[in-house]
Amino acid sequence: MKNQKKFIFLIFLIISFLSIIFPRKAYSQENDFEKLYQEYLTTFDEYRKTHSDYSFKKAQYLRFKTLKSQEEAFNATLTMLQKRDDLVIAFSKVLKEKLKISSEVGVPKNEPLNARIDQEVGWFNEHKEKLTSAASLENLVKDSNEAKLRFAKIQVLSYDLLATISEAKIIVLNKRTREILDRVKNKFEEIKSQDNVEDKFSTYKLQIIDRWIFESENRLIRGEEKLINAQSLIATFASKQTGDNALSLYNQSQTVLGESQLFFKEAISSLKEVIREIKIAE
């Protein structure tokens, strides 16, 4: 039951998080996602019902130990495990669709993540078929344990995907900040090269602008260093074998990405000061 609650909590955590971090897309894309999400919710409701029936039939079997109660427990267990596989597959499809409509995650990130999702969907489809060949409750327990171990890969993949999306958003911020800095620097150099620059800017004001540009560039460099550190952390997801380890790594990567984002925002604030100084008439 503890693993059951962790499974449900993880899925709802990730679904909720994905709904927050992704921008709105075209209606057709959102419609596709909503359809898959509703299918997931329907499957989840069906799974809860089968799990409730499984728990009841299992208790009956453990109490009476009759052939009939054993058969009913077997059938309930089989149905529950098949529906659990359906739930993991439905969840994986939601992840895949959200990845598809994300504009921040480029092809280099998209393809390997999509391939991993497809691999897991394929495994759970095969596992669902395999369940029908089980001849006893003991066989079903063994098959169930295999799925639990495999689900750890889904957990790792999920956190990897979330971290990759966050990374991509910071990469976009880094690129935009760098572009703004370059434009401001070029504009300032253009101003300084003008013959009548002394009529517009005092030496003191030029020094102030230089200082703000220096501060902005310094913050940008610090942010890029943090981004590289975060990318190094995210690259190690492949070596994680459990969801708990992946969650810890995900939290670490988000902390470092947050620090990177803060430096980029500070760089932009410094650039705003440059623009303000340029606009102030003397």
Tens-digit pLDDT profile for residues 17-49 = 555 444 455 556 678 989 999 999 999 999 999
Res 88 pLDDT > 90? yes
Q: Is the pTM here over 0.85, yes or no?
A: no
User: Who contacts 245 (Cβ-Cβ below 8 Å, separation ≥6)?
Assistant: 156
Q: How confident is the model at residue 99 (pLDDT cuts 50, 70, 90)?
A: confident
DSSP per residue, 105-135: S-HHHHHHHHHHHHHHHHHHHHHHHHHTT--
Domain boundaries, the chain: 2-133, 170-279
The secondary structure of residue 237, as a DSSP letter, is: G
The secondary structure of residue 23, as a DSSP letter, is: P
- Torsion angle, CA of 96/97/100/103, rounded to 10 degrees? -120
Rg of the chain in Å (alpha carbons): 27
